């Protein structure tokens, strides 16, 4: 057993030695192969390095040659630029010399011109002195005379051109306007009415006056307090007078007194009941009248409050003309003119019937009736065109077609013969004012206010005013009338220039 183990150990040792020696031999061979391969690679690298170096050297030589060529080309270009700059400098020097010579020449000429100017100024002064001595006027006086002459010529030329333009415009527009207005007026006829601020109530006998006054005046006080109207009981036989600026209150008082007289029972409690009934009756009448006016004109869509306000105009008068009838007439006239020129008839009629609606509340609201009426129409959603027409129907230059037509219809309705009345005193004052305005201008010989003050005819002196001056005089007189005289409607100004030569054969 021992020997077996020994032999086994020896075998293992021998096998290990043999294996070690074999592995060392194999490793040595691999190392030799690797060294050979490394040497081969080093040789190839050395060869590649040499080739690359040669190529890089060649590339560097080529690049240096190209750079040298480019530098040479740039040097040549710089030489050319230098030559050009040198030539330009030479040219500028020559030009500068020329300019200096010209400047010296101009300076010399300027001195010569200044000397000539001074000589001319001296000659002009001497001539002016001679002219002033000859004419007997100073320079400023001669200038003023010349300016006045030029201004007069310019003023005449302006007046002549304005007159020619007006004639041309009149020729183009007068015929059509005359036709439209004449047709509208001919198609409408209405009654002449009278204004009143008092109402006379007839009574059956003078004994009724005492009953209306009552014991210690209690009945008359009750009537005046309930109606807001002044009850005038005087010596007028079988009549009492109601006085107030509010026509609706006056109508309520008239109805109430008529009912009290018919009933016979007159005492404060009864008076209050009758006045309330009269107010309701007047309100119903106002509503009915407003609806009738709308129906007569032929429009629809108005707010009920506007219709009531329109009915209130039944009791309102202006220069003796009933405002409701006037509004209906204006609506018809404006609608007819609108149909003649192709405007919107419904809009124009609505503006015509409402143009004086502000007068229905002028006792309660402060301000011009046109602005009040426009505000009320705007409040009740009337279309903007109608509101603008109401607001501008008294302006000289209305802003839209509706306002222009309403303004024309308003003037026609108020200006037709007999439509309105005025006191004799005011009438005479207006005529005198018109004649005084016309006579205040130089060159006017005589002036006449005719056609109830709706036309002024002026006779001028022909030796002082020519045709162009007559046209200017008419415009000036119109402007002064508009500024100083109060009048309804419009006033025509006619300037007449006439030359007469009279001789006698003997």
Pairing of strands 492-497, 455-460: parallel
Of 478 and 164, the structure prediction assigns the larger pLDDT to 478
Of 159 and 440, the structure prediction assigns the larger pLDDT to 440
Which pLDDT belongs to residue 321? Answer: 74
Q: Are 399 and 374 in contact (CB under 8 A)?
A: no
Which pLDDT belongs to residue 319? Answer: 66
pLDDT value at 219 more than 50: yes
Stretch 247-262: mean pLDDT, rounded? Answer: 84
Which pLDDT belongs to residue 93? Answer: 86
Q: Which residues of 120-157 are buried (b: 16+ CB within 10 A; e: fewer)?
A: eeeeeeeeeeeeeeeeeeeeeeeeeeeeeeeeeeeeee
Which pLDDT belongs to residue 59? Answer: 85
Which pLDDT belongs to residue 193? Answer: 40
- In Å, how far are 134, 137, 143 from 131, measured between CA atoms? 5, 8, 13
Which pLDDT belongs to residue 180? Answer: 62
Pairing of strands 239-243, 198-202: antiparallel
Of 266 and 137, the structure prediction assigns the larger pLDDT to 266
pLDDT value at 177 more than 80: no
Residue 94's pLDDT band (cuts 50, 70, 90) = confident
Closest CA to 491 of 463, 450, 461, 440: 450
Of the listed ranges 65-74, 128-137, 265-274, 415-424, the one predicted with least confidence: 415-424
Which pLDDT belongs to residue 23? Answer: 72
Q: What is the DSSP string of 273-327?
A: HHHHHHHHHHHHHHHHHHHHHHHHHT-----HHHHHHHHHGGG-EETTEEHHHHH
Of 357 and 238, the structure prediction assigns the larger pLDDT to 357
pLDDT in tens, 427-464: 677 788 888 888 888 888 888 887 667 788 998 988 88
Q: Are 377 and 383 in contact (CB under 8 A)?
A: no
Of 234 and 90, the structure prediction assigns the larger pLDDT to 90
pLDDT value at 388 more than 80: yes
What tokens does 291 get? 């609806």
pLDDT value at 184 more than 70: no
pLDDT value at 194 more than 50: no
Q: What are the beta bridge partners of residue 458?
A: 447, 495
pLDDT value at 373 more than 80: yes
What tokens does 443 get? 């060159």
Which pLDDT belongs to residue 261? Answer: 83
Q: Which of 204-213, 285-294, 415-424 has the highest mean pLDDT?
A: 285-294
Mean pLDDT of the chain: 79
Stretch 376-402: mean pLDDT, rounded? Answer: 81
pLDDT value at 178 more than 70: no
Stretch 368-392: mean pLDDT, rounded? Answer: 84
pLDDT in tens, 302-358: 888 888 888 888 878 776 678 888 888 888 888 888 888 888 888 888 888 888 888
Residue 139's pLDDT band (cuts 50, 70, 90) = low
Stretch 112-133: mean pLDDT, rounded? Answer: 81
pLDDT value at 488 more than 70: no
pLDDT in tens, 220-229: 888 888 888 8
Percent of the chain with pLDDT over 90: 0
Residue 456 CA to residue 436 CA, distance in Å, equals 11
Of 333 and 420, the structure prediction assigns the larger pLDDT to 333
Residue 195's pLDDT band (cuts 50, 70, 90) = very low
Which pLDDT belongs to residue 320? Answer: 67
Residue 327 CA to residue 204 CA, distance in Å, equals 37
Residue 184 CA to residue 49 CA, distance in Å, equals 121
Stretch 252-279: mean pLDDT, rounded? Answer: 85
């Amino acid at each position: 057993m021992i020997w077996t183990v020994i032999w086994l150990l020896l075998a293992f040792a021998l096998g290990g030695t043999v294996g070690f020696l074999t592995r060392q031999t194999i490793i040595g061979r691999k190392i030799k192969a690797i060294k050979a391969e490394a040497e081969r690679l080093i040789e190839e690298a050395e060869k590649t390095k040499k080739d690359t170096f040669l190529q890089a050297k060649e590339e560097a030589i080529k690049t240096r040659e190209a750079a040298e060529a480019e530098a040479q080309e740039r040097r040549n270009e710089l030489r050319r630029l230098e030559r050009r700059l040198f030539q330009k400098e030479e040219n500028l020097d020559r030009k500068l010399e020329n300019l200096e010579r010209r400047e010296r020449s101009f300076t010399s000429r300027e001195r010569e011109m200044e000397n000539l100017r001074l000589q001319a100024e001296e000659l002009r002064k001497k001539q002016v002195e001679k002219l002033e001595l000859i004419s007997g006027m100073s320079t400023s006086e001669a200038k003023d005379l010349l300016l006045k002459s030029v201004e007069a010529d310019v003023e005449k030329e302006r007046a002549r051109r304005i007159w020619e333009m007006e004639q041309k415009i009149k020729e183009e527009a007068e015929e059509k306007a005359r036709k439209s207005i004449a047709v509208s007026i001919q198609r409408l006829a209405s009654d002449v009415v009278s204004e009143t601020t008092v109402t006379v109530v007839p009574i059956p006998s003078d004994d009724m006056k005492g009953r209306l006054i009552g014991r210690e005046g209690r009945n008359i006080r009750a009537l005046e307090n309930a109606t807001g109207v002044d009850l005038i009981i005087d010596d007028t036989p079988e009549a009492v007078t109601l006085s107030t600026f509010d026509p609706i209150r006056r109508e309520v008082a008239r109805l109430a007194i008529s009912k009290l007289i018919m009933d016979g029972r007159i005492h404060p409690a009864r008076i209050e009941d009758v006045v309330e009934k009269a107010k309701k009756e007047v309100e119903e009448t106002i509503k009915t009248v407003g609806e009738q006016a709308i129906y007569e004109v032929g429009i629809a869509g108005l707010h009920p409050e506007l219709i009531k306000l329109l009915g209130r105009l039944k009791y309102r008068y202006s220069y003796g003309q009933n405002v409701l009838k006037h509004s209906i007439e204006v609506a018809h006239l404006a609608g007819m003119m609108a149909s003649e020129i192709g405007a919107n008839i419904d809009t124009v009629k609505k503006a015509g019937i409402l143009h004086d609606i502000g007068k229905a509340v002028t006792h309660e609201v402060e301000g011009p009736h046109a602005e009040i009426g426009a505000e009320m129409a705007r409040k009740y959603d009337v279309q903007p065109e109608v509101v603008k027409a109401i607001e501008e129907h008294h302006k000289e230059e209305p802003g839209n077609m509706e306002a222009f037509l309403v303004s024309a219809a308003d003037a026609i309705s108020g200006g037709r013969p007999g439509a309105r009345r005025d006191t004799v005193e005011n009438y005479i004052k207006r005529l005198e004012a018109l004649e005084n305005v016309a006579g205040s201008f130089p060159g006017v010989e005589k002036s006449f206010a005719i056609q109830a003050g709706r036309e002024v005819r002026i006779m001028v002196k022909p030796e002082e005013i020519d045709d162009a001056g007559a046209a200017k005089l008419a415009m000036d007189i119109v402007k002064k009338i508009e500024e100083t005289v109060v009048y309804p409607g419009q006033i025509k100004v006619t300037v007449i220039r006439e030359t007469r030569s009279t001789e006698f054969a003997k």
